[in-house]
Structure 1
């Protein structure tokens, strides 16, 4: 059900704008949403880089002072 949230939100905005007689803006929102959805379906996949290991943390200051 979570996947329908953005769709329902855009639908509500379009219906609201249409009811307020802002049909040009409603059409613009609809077309923009459609272009965004198509782009997410056809865009090239992102390269998957292996995760980099975390860098080693330096020793606490008290340990460096006592080791000297």
Structure 2
């Protein structure tokens, strides 16, 4: 079976990252949240339960009523 070297490298990096936190999912998640906060990038929540909002104050929001469910088209 063909093994893509790029995919293999990604798997190796992911394993090393997980191992560095002793495969502790909560610790991994906390680290990813920290990296996200430190990045300075805007983060948009696209979940159906919340409005479509950017993480920075003063952004225009879209209410849930304005969102069309297109999941079954």
The two structures have a TM-score, normalised by structure 2, of 0.27
Question: Which is bigger in relative contact order (C-alpha 8 A, separation at least 6)?
Answer: 1
